[in-house]
């Protein structure tokens, strides 16, 4: 399973990338707004920190402008994945951009039918938003299971399922059990995944007992 970090905060990206566990980054207009940074500058900086795909989302909703924006975003760096919404025009833009060799992440996916269309449009990634489905009492993880089952039925579908709107380590665990290709995870959730009270308790006991030996390794 690949882990992308879902943020535009440079310090978080740099800190987590240093672990070697980060395979990419996703941003969206809300995360860019929250960062307070210039869009092109922050995407370029992220692309310098992380070698994997970095999602940068178009702002337009019409095909022609999405295509123009997507082409401009793709020029920022070779690892930019252009994000387009799962709409009629977004799918058209996805097809055109992928045929031009650009990675495309089709976002705001909330149904298996939408995911089928994203795969037909040649998307590199499709981003089902499971947290926002859970928020309205619809099982987001069931959508991931449905999409992965459907995609497995068609070997010509090369689109990777990028689980998004992740709210907890449990979302990541369940997505991994299903076999989703990627999870894009907020920095706080990625850090939560590391922690376990028994690890902390066991390490404290090891440190204390080692100190009692009076020895040193270096």
First to last CA, the chain: 36
Pairing type for strands 2-6 and 182-185 reads: parallel
C-beta of residue 57 within 8 angstroms of C-beta of residue 28:
yes
- 2 lies in the binding site for ligand G3P (CB under 6 A): no
- Which residues inside 142-171 make contact with ligand G3P, applying CB under 6 A? 164-165
Among 3, 4, 6, 63, binds ligand G3P (CB under 6 A): 6
Element (H, E) at 185: strand 182-185
CA dihedral 168, 20, 25, 6 (to 10 degrees): 20
The catalytic residue positions are 83
Which of 120, 119, 124 has the alpha carbon at shortest distance from 101? 124
Q: Does 39 sit near ligand G3P (CB under 6 A)?
A: no
Identity of the residue, 137 or 218, whose beta carbon is nearer to ligand G3P in the bound complex: 137
CA distance 88 to 86: 7
The verdict on 124 binding ligand G3P (CB under 6 A) reads no
Contact between 132 and ligand G3P per CB under 6 A: yes
Of 26 and 124, nearer to ligand G3P (C-beta) is 26
Q: Residue 11 Cβ, how far from ligand G3P at the closest point, in Å?
A: 18
Query: Smallest distance, Å, CB 218 to ligand G3P?
Result: 43
Q: Which residues bind ligand G3P (CB under 6 A)?
A: 6, 26, 28, 127, 129, 131-132, 164-165, 184
């Amino acid at each position: 399973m690949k882990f992308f970090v879902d943020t535009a905060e440079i310090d978080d990206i740099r800190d987590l990338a240093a672990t070697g566990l980060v395979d990419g980054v996703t941003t969206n207009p809300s995360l860019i707004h929250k960062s307070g940074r210039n869009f092109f500058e922050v995407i370029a900086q992220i692309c310098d920190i992380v070698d994997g795909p970095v999602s940068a989302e178009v702002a337009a909703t019409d095909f022609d402008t999405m295509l123009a924006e997507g082409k401009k975003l793709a020029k920022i760096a070779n690892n930019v994945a252009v994000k387009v919404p799962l709409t009629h025009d977004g799918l058209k833009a996805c097809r055109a951009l992928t045929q031009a060799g650009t990675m495309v992440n089709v976002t705001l996916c909330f149904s298996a039918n939408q995911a089928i269309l994203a795969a037909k449009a040649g998307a590199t990634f499709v981003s089902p938003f499971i947290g926002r489905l859970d928020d309205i009492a619809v099982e987001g993880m069931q959508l991931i299971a449905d999409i992965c089952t459907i995609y497995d039925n068609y070997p010509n579908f090369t689109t990777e399922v990028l689980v998004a709107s992740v709210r907890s380590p449990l979302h990541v665990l369940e997505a991994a059990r299903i076999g989703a290709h990627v999870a894009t995870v907020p920095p706080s959730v990625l850090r939560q995944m590391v922690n376990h009270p028994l690890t902390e308790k066991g390490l404290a006991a090891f440190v204390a007992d080692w100190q009692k030996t009076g020895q040193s390794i270096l």
